[in-house]
Amino acid sequence: MSCAALDGARIVARIAQLRPGPAAPVIVKASTGSTNDDAKALARSGPVHGAVVLAEAQTHGRGRSGSRWYSPAGENLTLSIVLLPGAIGASTATFSLVVGLCVARAVEAAAGGSLRAGVKWPNDVLVERRKIAGVLIEGASGQGRATLVVGVGVNVGSRSFPPELSELATSLAREGALDVDRSLVAADIVAGVLDAWDAFASAGLEPWLGELARRDALRGRSVRVEAVSGVAEGIAPDGRLLVRTPPGDLVSVVAGHVELLDLPAQSPAR
Ligand code: BTN
Give every CB contact of residue 29 below 8 A, 6+ residues apart in sequence.
35, 38, 53, 54, 55, 56
Percent of the chain exceeding pLDDT 70 equals 94
> Which residues does a 6 A CB cutoff place in the pocket of ligand 1?
34-36, 58, 61-64, 67, 69, 78-80, 123-124, 134-136, 151-153
Q: How confident is the model at residue 89 (pLDDT cuts 50, 70, 90)?
A: low
Number of domains in the chain: 2
Residue to mutate (ligand 1; options 27, 36, 121, 270; most atoms within 8 A of CB): 36
Atom of ligand 1 nearest to the CA of 64: 3
Same-domain status, 115 and 166: yes
244: in domain: yes
The pLDDT of residue 90? 41
Give residue-wise pLDDT tens across range 151-209.
Answer: 999 999 999 999 999 999 999 999 999 999 999 999 999 999 999 999 998 899 999 99
Task: Please give the residue that has the higher pLDDT: either 235 or 269.
Answer: 235
Specify the amino acid at residue 41.
A
Same-domain status, 177 and 223: no
Tell me how far the alpha carbon of residue 249 lies from the centroid of ligand 1, in angstroms: 34
Residue to mutate (ligand 1; options 28, 31, 37, 62; most atoms within 8 A of CB): 62
For residues 120 and 215, give the distance between their C-alpha atoms in angstroms, rounded to a whole number: 8
Please give the DSSP secondary-structure letter assigned to residue 22: P
Same-domain status, 155 and 243: no
For residues 79 and 83, give the distance between their C-alpha atoms in angstroms, rounded to a whole number: 13
Same-domain status, 131 and 209: yes
Same-domain status, 102 and 172: yes
Average pLDDT on 217-223 reads 97
The pTM score is 0.94
Tell me how far the alpha carbon of residue 20 lies from the centroid of ligand 1, in angstroms: 28
Tell me how far the alpha carbon of residue 87 lies from the centroid of ligand 1, in angstroms: 26
Tell me how far the alpha carbon of residue 61 lies from the centroid of ligand 1, in angstroms: 6
Across the beta sheet with 222-225, the strand order is 250-253, 241-244, 228-235, 222-225, 258-260
Give residue-wise pLDDT tens across range 233-261.
Answer: 999 999 999 999 999 999 999 999 999 99
Specify the amino acid at residue 183.
S
Same-domain status, 149 and 62: yes
123: in domain: yes
The pLDDT of residue 47? 79
The pLDDT of residue 91? 56
Q: Is the dihedral of CA 203, 219, 120, 137 positive or negative?
A: positive
Tell me how far the alpha carbon of residue 97 lies from the centroid of ligand 1, in angstroms: 14
Tell me how far the alpha carbon of residue 248 lies from the centroid of ligand 1, in angstroms: 35
Same-domain status, 182 and 103: yes
Rg (CA), the chain: 18
CB 269 within 8 A of CB 166: no
For residues 107 and 117, give the distance between their C-alpha atoms in angstroms, rounded to a whole number: 7
| CA-closest candidate to residue 94, choices 213, 237, 220 | 237
Tell me how far the alpha carbon of residue 246 lies from the centroid of ligand 1, in angstroms: 34
Give every CB contact of residue 234 below 8 A, 6+ residues apart in sequence.
213, 216, 219, 242
Same-domain status, 229 and 198: no
Atom of ligand 1 nearest to the CA of 134: 2
Same-domain status, 103 and 232: no
2: in domain: no
Q: How far is CA 216 from CA 117, 202, 219, 231, 255, in A?
A: 9, 24, 6, 13, 16
The β-bridge relationship of strands 145-154 and 241-244 is: unpaired
Same-domain status, 230 and 157: no
The pLDDT of residue 141? 77
Atom of ligand 1 nearest to the CA of 153: 9
Tell me how far the alpha carbon of residue 100 lies from the centroid of ligand 1, in angstroms: 12
Domain that includes residue 247, residue range? 218-260
Give residue-wise pLDDT tens across range 99-145.
Answer: 999 999 999 999 999 999 999 999 999 999 999 999 999 998 767 77
Same-domain status, 129 and 163: yes
Residue to mutate (ligand 1; options 6, 69, 79; most atoms within 8 A of CB): 69
The mean-pLDDT minimum among 6-15, 42-51, 244-253 falls in 42-51
74: in domain: yes
Same-domain status, 247 and 194: no
270: in domain: no
